[in-house]
């Protein structure tokens, strides 16, 4: 029986979504194959051993007193668990991070797994860091002959001279524009600005989430997504946002937002999106899984790359598990495949 450490929570703005994703994975993991060790990271950065999925769902895990951390010592190859009775070393076979956003999806914890020599689910340090940073993702994708939105990069310190910054943005892009933290996920800190006043407010909001900001041209079109598992792309899903764009609230709090699996598209577009998703996955040196997001522009039907997520959500409304379920791969089988890939780590079939 393989010993799997499920690590969730974290200090990012996507903490709550991570907990929901982890609960889904824990419930669907085959207990006849895997012995699960649940490790929750609080918003304050404490690492706690968690007893069961129920405590994740009701929030009682935050009251835990038993700590559990990944040892960077390769000889330990696992967890150091500490409570009132002392310290126990628990070897593990696979780490399964279910951490969205900063410190979980950006290569940080992946570096810890590398130090500890523990096989882990998902992308490596480089792919995680580059994919999390929207600016560097754009630099890589620029070489693939795949269209993406035009953008202006902004550093937080440049907000001190707001008039100069606004002039630079306005000379490069017409309104409306999207303003995004370069390293945040789940649409946290993302705004759509229709004029100068809204742009100023959007830049200040984005700066609360990251020191690097992207101001992008607005693409009017359908929001389409493709899930990549082991280098192979799935079918296409469509987001029908209840808001003007797929904001955090529209994604998780507004029941009017919908996801459509296998939407009707112009001939050849689903295959184009799948091919582009696989190309981007490979170019960023991704491994295991990712979700790649696109627009299909109104009027032209051109496919426009938006962003990539290397640890996509696994909630009941998340696109990644739904897309693969539509391909005949249910969530337990997806978990099996991800763990199998983690064991191989650097070997593609």
Residues 185 and 72 in one domain: no
Residues 141 and 193 in one domain: no
Tokens representing 256?
Answer: 């009017």
State residue 185's pLDDT score: 58
Residues 28 and 47 in one domain: yes
In whole angstroms, what is the distance from residue 308 CA to residue 315 CA? 18
Residues 108 and 135 in one domain: no
Residues 172 and 235 in one domain: no
- Asked whether residue 51 is assigned to any structural domain, the reply reads yes
State residue 244's pLDDT score: 57
pTM beyond 0.85: yes
Judged by DSSP in three states, 163 sits in: helix
State residue 348's pLDDT score: 46
Confidence of residue 243 (pLDDT cuts 50, 70, 90): low
Are the C-beta atoms of residues 199 and 159 closer than 8 Å to each other? Answer: no
Residues 92 and 157 in one domain: no
Dihedral sign (CA 333, 335, 338, 341): negative
- Asked whether residue 22 is assigned to any structural domain, the reply reads yes
Domain of 251: which CATH number? 3.30.470.20
Residues 169 and 137 in one domain: no
- Asked whether residue 125 is assigned to any structural domain, the reply reads no
Dihedral sign (CA 256, 236, 247, 127): positive
Residues 89 and 196 in one domain: no
**DSSP codes, 267-288:** TTHHHHHHHHHHHHHHHTT--S
Predicted confidence (pLDDT) per residue in 287-322, tens digit: 999 999 999 999 999 999 999 999 999 988 899 999
Q: What are phi and psi of 273, to 5 degrees?
A: -65, -45
Residues 188 and 73 in one domain: no
Residues 136 and 70 in one domain: no
Q: Is 293 left (phi over 0), alpha (psi -120 to 50) or beta?
A: beta
Which one, of 123, 95, 91, 92, lies nearest residue 107 by Cα? 123
- Asked whether residue 126 is assigned to any structural domain, the reply reads no
In whole angstroms, what is the distance from residue 93 CA to residue 82 CA? 20
Of 217, 238, 271, the position where a domain reaches its end is: 217
Q: Which residues pair with 174 in a beta bridge?
A: none
Of 184, 202, 217, the position where a domain reaches its end is: 217
Give Cα separations from 262 to 126, 132, 207, 210, 235 (angstroms).
Answer: 32, 27, 36, 35, 7
Task: Give the percent of the chain with pLDDT over 90.
Answer: 86
Residues 175 and 156 in one domain: yes
Domain extent, residue 172, equals 151-217
CB atoms within 10 A of CB 311: 29
Of 217, 252, 271, the position where a domain reaches its end is: 217
Total number of domains constituting the chain: 3
Predicted confidence (pLDDT) per residue in 76-109, tens digit: 999 999 998 899 999 999 999 999 988 899 999 9
Judged by DSSP in three states, 315 sits in: coil
Residues 143 and 284 in one domain: yes
Which one, of 213, 217, 219, lies nearest residue 153 by Cα? 213
Q: What is the mean pLDDT of the chain?
A: 92
State residue 242's pLDDT score: 59
């Amino acid at each position: 029986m393989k010993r799997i450490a499920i690590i969730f929570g974290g200090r990012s703005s996507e903490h709550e979504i991570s907990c929901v994703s982890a609960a889904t994975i824990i419930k669907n993991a085959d207990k006849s194959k895997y012995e699960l060790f649940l490790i929750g990271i609080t918003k304050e950065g404490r690492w706690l051993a968690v007893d069961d999925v129920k405590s994740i769902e009701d929030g009682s895990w935050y009251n835990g007193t038993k700590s559990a951390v990944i040892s960077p010592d390769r000889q330990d190859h696992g967890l150091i668990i500490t409570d009132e009775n002392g310290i126990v070393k628990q070897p593990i076979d696979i780490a399964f991070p279910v951490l969205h956003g900063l410190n979980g999806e950006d290569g940080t914890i992946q570096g810890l797994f590398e130090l500890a020599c523990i096989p882990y689910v998902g992308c490596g340090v480089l792919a995680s860091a580059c994919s999390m940073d929207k600016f560097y993702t754009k630099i890589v994708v620029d070489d693939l002959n795949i269209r993406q939105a035009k953008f202006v990069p902004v550093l937080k310190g440049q907000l001190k001279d707001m008039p100069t910054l606004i002039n630079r943005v306005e000379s490069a892009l017409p309104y409306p524009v999207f303003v995004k933290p370069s390293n945040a996920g789940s649409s946290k800190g993302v705004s759509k600005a229709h004029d100068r006043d809204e742009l100023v407010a959007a830049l200040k909001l984005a700066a609360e989430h990251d020191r690097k900001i992207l101001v992008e041209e607005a693409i009017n079109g359908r929001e389409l997504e493709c899930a990549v598992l082991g280098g192979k792309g799935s079918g296409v899903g469509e987001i029908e946002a209840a808001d003007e764009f797929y904001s955090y609230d529209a994604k998780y709090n507004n029941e009017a937002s919908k996801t459509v699996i296998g939407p009707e598209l112009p001939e050849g577009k689903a295959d184009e999106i799948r091919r582009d998703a696989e190309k981007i996955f490979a170019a960023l040196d991704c491994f295991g899984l990712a979700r790649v997001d696109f627009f299909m522009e109104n009027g032209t039907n051109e496919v426009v790359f938006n962003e990539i997520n290397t640890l996509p959500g696994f909630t009941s409304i998340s696109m990644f598990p739904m897309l693969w379920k539509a391909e005949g791969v249910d969530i337990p089988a997806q978990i099996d495949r991800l763990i199998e890939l983690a064991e191989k780590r650097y070997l593609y079939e």
